[in-house]
Amino acid sequence: MTLSAGYKQECWVSMLRYFLVLSLLSLFLSCASRSCKTDNQPQGTLNDEPAKVGQNQLDAIRDDYALPALAVQVVSSKKPFGYVSGVRKWNHPTPALLTDKFHLGSCTKAMTATLLAIFIERGQLKWNTTLQEVFPQLVATMSPAYKNVTLELLTAHRGGIPGDVSSFQRGTLWQKLWDPSLDPVEGRKLVAKAMLSAPPAHEPGSTFEYSNAGYMIIGAVLEARTGKSWEVLIKEELFKPLGMNGCGFGAQARTKANPVDQPWPHTRTAGVLRPVTPDFQGDNPPTLGPAGTVHCTLDDWGKFAQLHMDGFNGRNTSLLKSSAFKKLHQSYPGDEYTYGGWLRVDRPWAGGPTFTHSGSNTMNHAVIWMAPLKDFSFLAVTNAGGEGAEQATDEAVSMLVKELQP
């Protein structure tokens, strides 16, 4: 298995593809593959009392796409609910549970941006803090174009950082990150030093280029300013205060657990689904953490979604004031990607803006849609990547939305 090839295919290209199909997403979130609402049915509201999607319908989606497990959850301060279908490991009898942990991939980015906002609210950083201010030790080798790049440009993927780490410097940097002995903090220092010393892919601020490296550098910024690793910071500042006790990093299962204790990752090659041993090779390198290595239970991921819905609706939260969420939910001018690691798109069924993101390490897939004006978020996950994973999670969300429309 060559993870670097998968990384280029799904982790770097995923958000470019996401933008190209946004016009279609409005269709799938009002029209499921098995049935579609007619024109005379209301489009702008959601039921206050959620009608639960049938378990057999979720089973059918999973069967259609031949996935090991598929899980969905509706997040709401009223009556949250969820469903799960399938097994933790292909061709193994242990069933998946709704309390299982699933890999979130690039949906981690919104968590990293929220973590950044916490330290900005405390006055330790600013959205317009520049890279030369944070990394004075790199100024001598830093490309002049990067010196005045701000943190908000990085979180909005406008910093000029190349999108594909795996081909940078002919792959030599990417290979270094695969050293199991490499401390993730040191790895992020390597990424910052190497990528900021090279010319930018674009003039900073001019062009959107989805960049995992940009979020790795945000992680390095937080580490440089606090003296703690991103992993420690996100546990202390986000997971623990919100009670997200089922969240962690990397592959969520133990290799030798019997029975299988958590969902295994899977790849699909030539239509054949294969489990991937959940060891160091079962995820992207730990250095990539701030861009996409978090796993969570759906309940815990839902706590993060509820935090953002509360913040959007003007409520001060235990972590941030409502004013901080305005920045996190604000799109870069002329773009749909926000400073907080979300895509912001209006949808009739949501009564206004939704906030969405997908994530995949090529062995798992996750997607989230938040409709804060309706106090609903929709989460869908599967422990497989590749063909069918994105389509299945999208279809599962569309069915939830349809069930909640009057």
Q: What is the pLDDT of residues 322-338, one digit of tens each?
A: 999 999 999 999 999 99
Q: Is the pLDDT of residue 34 over 50?
A: no
pLDDT in tens, 83-125: 999 999 999 999 999 999 999 999 999 999 999 999 999 999 9
What gap in Å lies between CA 263 and CA 176, rounded to an integer?
28
Q: What is the largest CA-CA distance in the chain?
A: 64
Partnered with residue 266 across adjacent β-strands are: 275
Q: Burial, 104: exposed, middle or buried (Cβ in 10 Å; 0-12, 13-18, 19+)?
A: buried
SS3 233: helix
Strand 69-75 to 81-86 pairing:
antiparallel
Question: DSSP assignment of 44-105, as one string?
Answer: S---SSPPPPPHHHHHHHHHHTT-SEEEEEEE-SS--EEEEEEBSSTT--PBP-TTSEEE-G
SS3 159: coil
Q: Residue 46: its pLDDT value, please?
A: 64
Q: Name the residue among 279, 223, 272, 276 with its Cα closest to residue 250.
A: 279
- What percent of the chain is helix, strand and coil (3-state, nearest 5)? 45, 15, 40
What gap in Å lies between CA 211 and CA 191, rounded to an integer?
12
Residue 105: which region, alpha, beta or left (left: phi > 0; alpha: psi -120 to 50)? left
pLDDT confidence bin for 405, thresholds 50/70/90: confident
Q: Is the pLDDT of residue 1 over 80?
A: no
C-alpha distance from residue 264 to each of 71, 108, 148 (Å): 14, 19, 43
pLDDT in tens, 181-236: 999 999 999 999 999 999 999 999 999 999 999 999 999 999 999 999 999 999 99
C-alpha distance from residue 191 to each of 5, 130, 173, 195, 288 (Å): 19, 17, 7, 6, 10
Q: Is the pLDDT of residue 290 over 60?
A: yes
What gap in Å lies between CA 328 and CA 116, rounded to an integer?
10
- Amino acid letter, residue 75: V
Q: Residue 15: its pLDDT value, please?
A: 45
Sign (positive or negative) of CA dihedral 305, 327, 330, 12: negative
pLDDT in tens, 46-94: 665 555 557 889 999 999 999 999 999 999 988 889 999 999 999 999 9
SS3 183: coil
What gap in Å lies between CA 113 and CA 87, rounded to an integer?
33
